[in-house]
């Protein structure tokens, strides 16, 4: 150890008496100072212009995103280290001093370790600069997430250590420093890019994926330490240090080429074998240091995963003719496996495999893309063209129907899907979706695993009386919300089962929630008896009406003390037809579900059209919770004001409920704005209109003398009671268009609407918080920067100018002192 210490001390003296090390530190300090201060300045300036800070400032500014400070700086660091390491041994060779080292009583290992400790000390000075800049965040930011930043700094230090070992090895190869510099750059680049090599071959894929430096620090920068990534840097650094020792040993001993090859190959084999063992899911250990544990499954998801038993297969079926084929081709397999690592972390026996098929029986955008590309080509021609591109052989691919014994891919629209199969034979589907994210998120993944381990809440959708249909893919259908497979928000993708049922026989005991959506024919006789029997046994229920359905539904809801009002609800919303109702959530309803509370806090609304008003008289045993309501009566025009009538006709001339979708001509604030500002004009109010039915040519006016009821008017109501020691939950709604396939964008475009989110909130309440799975995390509390623009300037001066100048003065002082001696 004494010899190593002496070599380290001597190397540090040479390093810091040279201007190169100081120049590198000064440039790094300037670059990092401007980068960090620029990031803070953007946030502080935006705040002084009226914006507000969002939670998670530590992640946004320091580490966690590609644009964050430490993420950006770690991408520059590889440029600096080779300039320090290029002369570690090259100078010894070029000056001849290597002979003195060989003749002294020290080993090759002591020489290498002494020089390596010296360069590691230099790396610590770089980390010291970063630590100073992170200290500013601790002082200037509320609840700075210090542990996650320490993890990020550890990752950067380990990367520096690996680069240093690579540079040291190359300095033993040649006496020319520039060659060592280029060699270090080249090797670092090859290791960074290794993940792109040989991904088509399963064996090479595992080796190159492990060898790759690319993305290794991302885990640390995200605030998590894993044994796999930590030991990777140790093994890579150790491997190149061993190479350096063997290189010095080879210069001295002149071994045969075969002996040298065996030495180097042996080290590589040991490193790769150890790396493979550390990468096995069962051998990994994780430390999530973030304040919200954002890198870890939520407790609800962990509870679901704990229910898995034995081996679980997660088979990826990839259609080579589909739009999402790129997600599952061989070179993308490791990335996809990494995507599900949060689940293999808690259940290492989860086996992810891939099967490839082809089928041109596609749907929607997949079909459009395929026909535009290959409509006139045969399957054989398409495969002949695509298999080499995807690095697949004909033996790797089957026709989709050949998998019928395991899965009916036609039912899944021949998309990229996963089938989860447990050891006891239970199966569940996990899907890709038609949105910008495409891949399932934790909520959908956990729902799929829950389906594979337990029975889910089951919804019965009543048919047979002219109700809305779940098979109708047109605007009025309910396919999207109930069972559309590529829709992320559909109930079957969020932990609920579904079944169309008739009332010609008793409702099965497996049905937990019954949905009665706008029946147009009276429910009578045995059908009504079976419905009432379900209600009497305490089953949960959703009843939704629409225009002119009072006569059909009032006999059903009257047993709860509820009735639908005559006419339809109209409301003044500037820039929209008056039959468009922007129903506000009530304060009382926020207690039902966290999703509903979130929508209420964002001041979003549920948009309806052709809605019926609801009233109730309290009955013994029932509790009533108002859910949605239209505006209360405010300033209204009088029917005698003919000029106002003409003005309003002109204003609403281009707005209709369904035929002419328009944007708000006055401009709307984004979702989350107060309703009183996003759509309120001169007039305010809602009522049950009994006279006007043509909202294109006529403007309705409130006339209490005709029996019209003024707002606020309920359009949504929840009713509860105790039945068989269980709380029965009933939701009564005045509109059915709010969840139809056509959505509400056709008549409420531009409004801050939250219809689908509200629906998921209702189902969360109706399923007793079982579905959709609750994957909430605590909100980060680092949501404020203390210095204002004026106070911030002094920090900018320090980090941009004073710190680099201090480093410059230090080198000047050292130079003058040495010159004086």
Q: How many CB atoms lie within 10 A of CB 682?
A: 13
Is residue 357 within 8 Å of residue 318, measured between CB atoms? yes
Residue 657 has pLDDT above 50, yes or no: no
Average pLDDT score over residue span 391-401 = 94
Give the pLDDT band (50/70/90) at residue 670: very low
Residue 548 has pLDDT above 50, yes or no: yes
- The pLDDT, as a whole number, for residue 379 is 93
In whole angstroms, what is the distance from residue 334 CA to residue 330 CA?
A: 8
- The pLDDT, as a whole number, for residue 59 is 93
* Burial class of residue 486, CB neighbours in 10 A (0-12, 13-18, 19+): buried
653 or 788: which leads in pLDDT: 788
Where in 617-713 does DSSP place strands (E)?
623-629, 686-689
User: 3-state DSSP: the chain helix, strand, coil percent, rounded to 5?
Assistant: 50, 15, 35
User: What does the mean pLDDT of the chain come to?
Assistant: 89
Percent of the chain with pLDDT over 90: 69
In whole angstroms, what is the distance from residue 122 CA to residue 50 CA?
A: 43
Q: Quickly list H helices, 49-197.
A: 57, 69-74, 81-85, 90-95, 98-103, 108-140, 146-173, 177-192
- The pLDDT, as a whole number, for residue 49 is 86
Interval 731-787: pLDDT, tens: 999 999 999 987 766 566 777 889 999 999 999 999 999 999 999 999 999 999 999
Backbone φ and ψ of 793, nearest 5°: -60, -35
Backbone φ and ψ of 612, nearest 5°: -100, 145
**Where are the chain's structural domains?**
2-291+785-820, 299-449, 455-766
| Residues β-bridged to residue 225 | 287
Q: Which range is least confidently modeled, 232-246, 250-264, 557-571?
A: 250-264
At residue 539, the 3 state secondary structure works out as coil
| Residues β-bridged to residue 730 | 541, 719
Interval 95-104: pLDDT, tens: 878 777 777 8
Average pLDDT score over residue span 652-681 = 40
The DSSP element (H or E) to which 30 belongs, if any, is: helix 19-48
Is residue 55 within 8 Å of residue 779, measured between CB atoms? yes
Q: How many CB atoms lie within 10 A of CB 515?
A: 26
Residue 426 has pLDDT above 50, yes or no: yes
The DSSP element (H or E) to which 286 belongs, if any, is: strand 286-288
Core vs surface per residue 520-551: b (16+ CB within 10 A) or e:
eeebeeebeebbeebbeeebbbbbbbbbebbe
474 or 663: which leads in pLDDT: 474
In whole angstroms, what is the distance from residue 709 CA to residue 712 CA?
A: 9
In whole angstroms, what is the distance from residue 32 CA to residue 73 CA?
A: 7
Residue 604 has pLDDT above 70, yes or no: yes
In whole angstroms, what is the distance from residue 97 CA to residue 344 CA?
A: 53
Average pLDDT score over residue span 791-807 = 92
In whole angstroms, what is the distance from residue 288 CA to residue 309 CA?
A: 25
251 or 552: which leads in pLDDT: 552
Is residue 298 within 8 Å of residue 774, measured between CB atoms? yes
- The pLDDT, as a whole number, for residue 643 is 59
As a whole number of Å, the end-to-end CA separation of the chain is 31
Give the pLDDT band (50/70/90) at residue 523: very high
- The pLDDT, as a whole number, for residue 203 is 84
Residue 289 has pLDDT above 60, yes or no: yes
At residue 224, the 3 state secondary structure works out as strand
Q: How many CB atoms lie within 10 A of CB 804?
A: 21
Give the pLDDT band (50/70/90) at residue 92: confident
In whole angstroms, what is the distance from residue 64 CA to residue 674 CA?
A: 32
- The pLDDT, as a whole number, for residue 454 is 93
The DSSP element (H or E) to which 746 belongs, if any, is: helix 745-748
In whole angstroms, what is the distance from residue 145 CA to residue 291 CA?
A: 6
Residue 647 has pLDDT above 80, yes or no: no
In whole angstroms, what is the distance from residue 164 CA to residue 169 CA?
A: 9
Is residue 552 within 8 Å of residue 521, measured between CB atoms? yes
Q: Is 455-766 CATH 3.40.50?
A: yes
Q: Which range is least confidently modeled, 1-15, 118-132, 587-601?
A: 1-15
Residue 188 has pLDDT above 50, yes or no: yes
Q: Which range is least confidently modeled, 490-499, 651-660, 699-708?
A: 651-660
Closest of 488, 407, 399 to residue 444, by C-alpha: 488
- The CATH number that domain 299-449 falls under is 3.40.30
In whole angstroms, what is the distance from residue 524 CA to residue 503 CA?
A: 10
């Amino acid at each position: 150890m004494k010899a190593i210490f002496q070599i380290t001390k001597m190397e540090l003296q040479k390093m810091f008496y040279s201007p190169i090390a100081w120049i590198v530190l000064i440039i790094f300090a300037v670059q990092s100072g401007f980068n960090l201060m620029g990031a803070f300045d953007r946030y502080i300036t935006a705040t002084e212009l009226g914006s507000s800070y969002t939670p998670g400032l530590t992640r946004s500014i320091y580490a966690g995103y590609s644009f964050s400070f430490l993420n950006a700086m770690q991408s520059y660091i590889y440029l600096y280290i080779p300039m320090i390491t290029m002369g570690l041994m090259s100078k010894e060779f070029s000056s001849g001093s290597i002979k003195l080292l060989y003749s002294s009583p020290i080993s090759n290992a002591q020489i290498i370790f002494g020089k390596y400790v010296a360069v590691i000390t230099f790396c610590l000075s770089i980390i010291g600069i970063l630590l100073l800049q992170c200290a500013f965040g601790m002082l200037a930011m509320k609840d700075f997430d210090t542990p996650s930043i320490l993890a990020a700094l550890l990752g950067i230090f380990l990367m520096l250590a690996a680069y240093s070992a690579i540079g040291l090895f190359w300095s033993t190869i040649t006496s020319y420093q520039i060659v060592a510099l280029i060699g270090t750059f080249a090797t670092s680049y090859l290791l960074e890019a290794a993940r792109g090599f040989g991904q088509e071959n399963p064996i090479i894929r595992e080796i190159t994926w492990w060898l790759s430096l690319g993305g290794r620090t991302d885990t640390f920068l995200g605030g998590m330490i894993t044994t796999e990534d930590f030991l990777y840097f140790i093994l890579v650094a150790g491997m190149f240090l061993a190479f350096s020792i063997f290189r010095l040993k080879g210069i001295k001993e002149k071994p045969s080429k075969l002996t040298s090859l065996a030495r180097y190959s042996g080290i590589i084999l040991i490193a790769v074998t150890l790396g493979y063992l550390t990468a096995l899911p069962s051998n990994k250990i994780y430390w999530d240091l973030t304040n919200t544990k954002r890198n870890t499954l939520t407790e609800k998801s962990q509870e679901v995963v704990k229910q898995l038993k034995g081996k679980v297969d997660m088979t990826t079926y990839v259609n080579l003719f589909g739009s999402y084929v790129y997600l599952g081709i061989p070179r993308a397999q490791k990335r996809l496996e990494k995507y599900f690592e949060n689940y293999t972390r808690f259940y290492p026996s989860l086996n992810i495999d891939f099967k490839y098929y082809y089928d041109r029986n596609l749907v929607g955008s997949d079909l459009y893309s395929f026909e535009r590309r290959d409509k006139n080509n045969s399957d054989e021609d398409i495969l002949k063209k695509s298999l080499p591109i995807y690095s697949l052989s004909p033996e790797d691919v089957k026709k989709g129907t050949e998998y019928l014994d395991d899965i009916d891919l036609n039912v899944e629209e021949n998309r990229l899907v996963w089938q989860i199969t447990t050891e006891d034979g239970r199966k569940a589907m996990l899907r890709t979706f038609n949105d910008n994210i495409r891949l399932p998120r934790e909520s959908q993944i956990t729902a799929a695993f829950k389906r594979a381990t337990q029975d889910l809440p089951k919804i019965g959708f009543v048919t047979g009386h002219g109700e809305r249909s779940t098979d109708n893919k047109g605007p009025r259908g309910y396919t999207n919300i109930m069972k559309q497979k590529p829709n992320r928000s559909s109930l079957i993708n969020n932990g609920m089962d579904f079944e169309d049922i008739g009332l010609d026989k008793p409702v099965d005991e497996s049905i937990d929630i019954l949905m009665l959506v706008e029946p147009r024919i009276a429910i009578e006789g045995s059908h009504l008896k079976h419905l009432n029997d379900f209600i009497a046994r305490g089953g949960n229920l959703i009843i939704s009406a629409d225009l002119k359905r009072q006569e059909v539904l009032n006999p059903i809801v009257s047993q709860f003390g509820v009735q639908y009002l005559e006419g339809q609800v109209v409301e003044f919303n500037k820039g929209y037809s008056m039959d468009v109702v922007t129903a506000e959530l009530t304060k009382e309803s926020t207690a039902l579900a966290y999703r509903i509370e979130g929508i209420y806090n964002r001041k979003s609304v549920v948009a309806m059209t052709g809605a019926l008003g609801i009233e109730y008289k309290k009955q013994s045993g029932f509790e009533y919770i108002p859910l949605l309501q239209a505006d209360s009566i405010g300033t209204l025009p009088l029917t005698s004001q003919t000029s106002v009538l003409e003005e309003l006709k002109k204003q609403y001339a281009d707005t209709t409920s369904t035929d002419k979708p328009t944007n708000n001509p006055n401009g709307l604030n984004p979702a989350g704005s107060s309703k009183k500002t996003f759509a309120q004009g001169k007039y305010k109010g809602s009522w049950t209109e009994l006279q006007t039915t043509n909202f294109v040519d006529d403007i309705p006016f409130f006339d209490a003398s005709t029996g019209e009821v003024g707002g606020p008017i309920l359009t949504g109501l929840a009713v509860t009671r105790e039945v068989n020691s269980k709380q029965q939950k009933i939701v009564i709604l005045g509109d059915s268009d709010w969840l139809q396939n056509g959505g509400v964008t056709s008549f409420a475009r531009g409004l801050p609407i939250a219809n689908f989110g509200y629906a998921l909130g209702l189902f969360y309440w109706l399923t007793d918080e079982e579905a959709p799975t609750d994957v909430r995390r605590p909100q980060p509390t680092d949501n404020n920067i203390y210095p204002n623009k004026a106070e911030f300037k002094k920090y900018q001066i320090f980090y941009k100018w004073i710190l680099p100048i201090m480093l410059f003065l230090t080198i000047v002082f050292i130079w003058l002192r040495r010159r004086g001696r």
